[in-house]
């Protein structure tokens, strides 16, 4: 691939998943784009027309934690063994969960009295049926007797309750782990790492956060809410003209000037954009934040291609999306709600942003290239230093500002996307190149991955997949197992 270099990228706004069968240029000039996108958004929506309940200010998910073991001080001739201090270890497990809950904002309710017999488990099951918590963590603390009641809880609990079965080293053999295997919304964590419990609390919090999230979809002509099945996220639609109206009426503020100055000073280089272009790109961020605040939403996705194709905007929101995603929010192109919920999950679960891209198989190198008009810069984490960025124009229209973000070579990467709210695709690879435009075509941030599973890249599933820095497939798979979401390979 002669046009591939070790120092550049490209990004773009391409057709949303609903319009893949339409030619790109025909798509750009088709007046029915809004209707097509609106119809595509119906797939995977909850059957109920009711709006998903918004969490009250200060609301927290409620998680119950219990321990299954005999009510005694010492074990004799059985694992974990006589040297295993039951009270001290239970206190340690409680400490890890409690510290994580405080950090995550979780209402953790720990039952110190062990579940030692059927009567105790009956009482706990009855409690969970009368007042279902948002998650349960069952810690098995005895190989010989802890599993009988643990298995019964998994089998008889209300099926909507995500349940973690934590089995510290010395409390399970292979056989003990079978009855909880592949049970819906059940994640079994058998490990010597006590601190894993903090990850468990985090995943339960993420499930709740996704269920209470609202994402703003700016498209069409209606204002309406559409809750999604399984994950519970609400898609909040507002008319597309709200964007152009807000852009038209907002003036130039000190906030815009400050942000434009930040874009200018932090850029490695500025190629096409003028100072006015950069100021206009800062304006799109202010507009996006105002609309999100007005509509009480956690992220935004806009029919940007429709607006550019009809020449109703002169500056695409590429830099606004970069900044929103770097902040842990969601800025998503082309009103693709599957990509939007993917970006939301990525931020909440991994603590870093994803790069929504158009997959471009490289059949010569047997690699997967991905390109789009906006990539985040804080690839390693929201609290980490940003990657280098070059300010370019939007390559397809020559309008405004689009970032060319330089991805670190040789580093691991994960590919992920929701394919409807009940299924995601996941794969892993490493970054082997950044691609310049020109001499190549496509979008400004363009990244090439060598996938770990080296099948024909033309078989890559999905569109607008996320590229995410780091090897995170196990984290996504564990989350999906707990949340009741199917996982398929990329």
Q: Evaluate whether 426 touches 473 at the Cβ level (below 8 Å).
A: yes
Residue 363 backbone dihedrals phi, psi, to 5 degrees: -80, -15
- Judge whether residue 26 has pLDDT over 60: no
Distance (Å, rounded) from C-alpha 232 to C-alpha 162?
Answer: 14
For 124-175, what is each residue's pLDDT tens digit? 999 999 999 999 999 999 998 899 999 999 999 999 999 999 999 999 999 9
Residue 35 has pLDDT above 70, yes or no: no
Given this model, what pLDDT does residue 13 score?
Answer: 30
DSSP code, position 18: G
With 50 as the cut, is the pLDDT of residue 467 above it? yes
Which one, of 309, 311, 246, lies nearest residue 283 by Cα? Answer: 246
Span 377-405, average pLDDT = 97
Task: Examine the pLDDT at 446 and tell me if it is beyond 90.
Answer: yes
Write down all domains in the chain, each with its CATH number in brackets.
4-53+212-489 (no CATH), 62-191 (3.40.50)
Mean residue pLDDT of the chain comes to 89
| Strand partners of residue 224 | 237
Q: How far apart are CA 223 and CA 97, in angstroms?
A: 41
Biggest alpha carbon–alpha carbon distance for the chain: 78
pTM of the shown model:
0.89
Long-range CB contacts for residues 251-256, cutoff 8 Å, separation at least 24: 252/279, 252/283, 253/286, 255/282, 255/286, 256/282, 256/283, 256/285, 256/286
Instruction: Collect all residues with Cβ–Cβ distance below 8 Å to 464 and sequence separation of at least 6.
Output: 14, 16, 17, 333, 334, 336, 338, 339, 356, 357, 358, 417
Using 50, 70 and 90 to split pLDDT, how confident is the model at 44?
low
Strands 135-140 and 163-168, by their bridges, are parallel
Q: Give me 459's structure tokens.
A: 């078989």
Contact 338, 464 (CB under 8 A): yes
DSSP string for 134-195: SEEEEEE--TTTHHHHHHHHHHHS-TTS-EEEEEETTS--TGGGSTTTT-TTEEEEEES-TT
Q: What are the residues facing 166 on neighbouring strands?
A: 139, 189
Q: Identify the band that residue 57 occupies on the pLDDT scale cut at 50, 70 and 90.
A: low
pLDDT at 6: 39
| Mean pLDDT across 332-360 | 97
| Of 318, 284, 295, 288, residue with least CA distance to 237 | 295
Mean pLDDT on 354-376: 97
């Amino acid at each position: 691939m002669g046009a591939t270099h070790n120092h550049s990228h490209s990004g773009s706004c391409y057709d949303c998943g609903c319009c893949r069968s339409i030619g790109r240029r025909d798509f750009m000039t088709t007046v029915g784009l809004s209707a097509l996108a609106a119809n595509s958004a119906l797939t995977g929506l909850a059957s109920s027309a009711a709006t998903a309940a918004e969490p009250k200010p200060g609301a927290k998910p409620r998680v119950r934690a219990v321990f299954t073991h005999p009510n005694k001080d010492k074990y004799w001739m059985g694992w974990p063994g006589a040297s295993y201090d039951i009270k001290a270890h239970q206190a340690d497990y409680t400490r890890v969960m409690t510290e994580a809950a405080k950090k995550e904002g979780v209402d953790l309710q720990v039952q110190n009295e062990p579940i030692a017999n059927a009567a105790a488990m009956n009482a706990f099951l009855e409690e969970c049926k009368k007042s279902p918590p948002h998650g349960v963590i069952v810690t098995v603390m005895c190989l010989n007797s802890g599993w009988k009641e643990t298995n019964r809880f998994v089998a008889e609990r209300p099926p909507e309750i995500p349940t973690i079965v934590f089995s510290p080293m010395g409390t399970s053999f292979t056989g003990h782990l079978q009855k909880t295997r592949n049970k819906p919304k059940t994640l079994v964590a058998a490990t010597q790492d006590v601190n894993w419990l903090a990850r468990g609390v985090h995943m339960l919090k993420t499930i709740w956060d996704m269920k209470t999230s609202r994402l703003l979809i700016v498209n069409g002509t209606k204002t309406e809410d559409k809750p999604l099945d399984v994950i519970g996220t609400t898609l909040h639609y507002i008319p597309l003209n709200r964007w152009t109206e807000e852009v038209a009426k907002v003036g130039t503020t000190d906030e815009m000037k400050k942000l434009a100055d930040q874009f200018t000073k932090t850029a490695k280089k500025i190629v096409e954009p003028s100072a006015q272009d950069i100021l206009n790109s800062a304006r799109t961020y202010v507009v996006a934040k105002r609309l999100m605040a007005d509509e009480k939403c956690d992220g935004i996705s806009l029919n940007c291609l429709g607006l550019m194709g009809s020449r109703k905007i002169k500056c695409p929101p590429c830099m606004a999306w970069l900044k929103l995603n770097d902040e842990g929010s969601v800025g998503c192109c082309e009103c693709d709600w599957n990509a939007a919920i993917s970006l939301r999950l990525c931020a909440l679960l991994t603590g870093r942003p994803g790069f929504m891209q158009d997959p471009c198989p490289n059949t010569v190198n047997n690699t997967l290239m991905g390109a789009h008009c906006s990539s985040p810069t804080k690839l390693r984490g929201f609290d980490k230093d940003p990657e280098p960025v070059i300010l370019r124009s939007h390559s397809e229209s020559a309008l405004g500002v689009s970032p060319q973000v330089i991805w670190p070579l040789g580093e691991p990467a994960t590919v992920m996307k929701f394919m409807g709210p009940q299924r995601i695709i996941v794969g892993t690879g490493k970054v082997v190149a950044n691609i310049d435009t020109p001499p190549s075509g496509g979008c400004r941030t363009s990244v090439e991955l060598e996938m770990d599973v080296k099948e024909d890249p033309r078989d890559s599933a999905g569109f607008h997949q996320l590229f995410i820095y780091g090897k995170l497939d196990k984290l996504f798979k564990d989350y999906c197992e707990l949340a009741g979401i199917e996982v398929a390979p990329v």
